[in-house]
């Protein structure tokens, strides 16, 4: 029986365990994983600081690419297809921090969750398609509310992966973009991708006024919302991308920002005499993945990856990230073979 290794998360502890690949059923797919990406949501699940949506389940190990080594006859897939994974629909699945992922679900669910890609695409680039799709989707959702953003002034609060990707997409649409970050590490990292006059420290925000402010930080804080409120013009948009929890409100109002983000709503409020349009977006779908595949070669994906590790280094690294002992700007990628 074929053995495979996977990361097991229990009460904040991550360890690698060895499993047997099960006897597959007709609705089962095995994906042999090439690479996985570490997402802030994975880190938050290790530190138990993330509300897990009941409809989607835990995300731990959801950014990946690989090859199908078994596809049951009811799955609609074939062996040797190259694929990525969309975690916004939840089949019965094992973690993507593993050298194999096993999915078992009806064909219509698998079609949403397993996204094939063309062999011509570089696997080093396709590993970022899931987070790129989420940010692509978020910007498209925002544009659905604001109208075209060409020449619009956009501030992005947080120059992490999400902020950087949103900035790249907004620039492609012709917007004038400025990224703001609290600490220097990510400012220096972002300056390798953006122009010097596009990346700033948090404290500089009051020098500007924006049509749109997108908040992308790990957990959206009152301080970041206050910044967004102060630098957005009247009747401008504050778009919520970063983490929110079920009871989070817009400053001292009763407006629930988690509901706006997770349900992708627009809520217009008058806060202290200024009209603000609050919007949000959450997740992505197969069409977003396909749109990103089409432009992947134009994106500076390799500049977004800061570190690559082997799987045996993964448990310590993610637990250290969860405890705040280490932090890396950009993406950390896990490899399963040397
Ligand atoms: N809406 C969606 O569909 C969706 C999808 C995926 C993820 N997300 C959310 O997006 C969040 C960000 O993801 P990411 O990949 O960009 O993470 P990331 O690469 O780790 O970046 C996190 C950013 O947040 C900043 N930050 C953290 N705590 C802060 C604080 N207290 N004050 C100010 N800035 C702070 C960091 O600043 P430093 O550089 O100074 O540390 C960094 O710029 C995740 O936590 C997740 O909840 C949303």
Q: Tens digit of pLDDT for each residue in 181-195? A: 999 999 999 999 999
Are the beta carbons of 238 and 228 closer than 8 angstroms?
Answer: yes
CB 42 within 8 A of CB 332: no
Q: Which atom of ligand 1 is nearest to the CA of 131?
A: 6
Instruction: Answer yes or no: is pLDDT of 34 > 90.
Output: yes
Residue nearest (by alpha carbon) to ligand 1 atom 40? 183
- Interval between CA 56 and ligand 1 midpoint (Å): 20
Q: What is the pLDDT of residues 199-210, one digit of tens each?
A: 999 999 999 999
Q: What angle do CA 64, 113, 76 make, to 5 degrees?
A: 115
Residue 75, pLDDT > 90, answer: yes
pLDDT above 70 (res 338): no
- Structure tokens of 328? 């890396």
What span, in angstroms and rounded, lies between the C-alpha atoms of 36 and 323? 21
**How far is Cα 8 from Cα 319, in angstroms, rounded to an integer?**
12
Identify the H or E element spanning 233.
Answer: strand 232-240
Q: What is the mean pLDDT of the chain?
A: 95
Centre of ligand 1 to C-alpha 241, Å, is 9
pLDDT 10s digits, 118-133: 999 988 899 999 999 9
Domains in the chain with CATH codes: 3-116+300-335 (3.90.180.10), 131-280 (3.40.50.720)
Give residue 56's pLDDT.
73
Higher pLDDT pick, 49 / 269: 269
The residue whose C-alpha atom lies closest to atom 9 belonging to ligand 1 is: 242
Q: What is the pLDDT of residues 142-157, one digit of tens each?
A: 999 999 999 999 999 9
Mean pLDDT of 64-85: 97
What does residue 117 show for φ and ψ, rounded to 5 degrees? -135, 160
- Residue 15, Cβ neighbours under 10 Å: how many? 11
Q: Are the CB atoms for 127 and 37 separated by under 8 Å?
A: yes
Look at the block and give the residue holding tokens 């990103």. 292
245-292 pLDDT per residue, tens: 999 999 999 999 999 999 999 999 999 999 999 999 999 999 999 999
* Residues composing the chain: 338
Please list, residue by residue across 182-210, b when 16 or more beta carbons sit within 10 angstroms of its beta carbon and e when fewer do.
Answer: beeebbebbeebbeeebbbebeebeeeeb
Pairing of strands 331-335, 305-310: parallel
């Amino acid at each position: 029986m074929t053995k495979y290794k996977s990361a097991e998360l229990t009460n904040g502890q991550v360890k690698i365990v060895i499993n047997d690949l099960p006897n597959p059923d007709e609705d089962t797919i095995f994906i042999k994983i090439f690479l996985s990406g570490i997402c802030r949501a994975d880190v938050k699940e290790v530190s138990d600081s993330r509300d897990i949506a009941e409809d989607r389940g835990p995300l731990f190990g959801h950014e990946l690419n690989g090859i199908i080594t078994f596809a049951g006859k009811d799955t609609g897939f074939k062996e040797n297809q190259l694929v990525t994974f969309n975690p916004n629909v939840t089949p019965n699945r094992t973690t993507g921090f593993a050298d194999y992922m096993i999915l078992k679900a009806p064909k219509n669910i698998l079609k949403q969750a397993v996204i094939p890609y063309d062999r011509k695409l570089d696997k080093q680039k396709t590993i970022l398609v899931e987070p790129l799709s989420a940010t692509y989707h978020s910007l498209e959702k925002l544009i659905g509310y604001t109208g075209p953003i060409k020449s619009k002034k956009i501030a992005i609060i947080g120059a992490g992966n999400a902020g950087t990707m949103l900035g790249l997409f907004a620039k492609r649409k012709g917007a004038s973009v400025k990224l703001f970050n609290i600490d220097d590490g990510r400012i220096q990292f972002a300056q390798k991708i953006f122009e010097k006059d596009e990346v700033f420290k948090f404290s500089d925000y009051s020098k500007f006024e924006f049509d749109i402010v997108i908040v992308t930080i790990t957990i959206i804080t009152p301080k970041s919302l206050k910044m967004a409120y102060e630098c957005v013009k009247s009747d401008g948009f504050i778009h919520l991308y970063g983490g929110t929890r079920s009871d989070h409100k817009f400053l001292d109002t009763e407006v629930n920002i988690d509901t706006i983000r997770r349900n992708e709503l627009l809520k217009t409020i008058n806060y202290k005499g200024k009209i603000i349009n609050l919007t949000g977006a959450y997740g992505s779908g197969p069409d977003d993945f396909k749109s990103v595949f089409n432009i992947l070669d134009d994106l500076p994906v390799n500049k977004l990856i800061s570190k690559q590790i082997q799987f045996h280094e993964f448990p310590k690294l993610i637990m250290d990230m969860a405890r705040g002992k280490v932090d890396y700007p950009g993406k950390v990628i896990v490899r399963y073979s040397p």
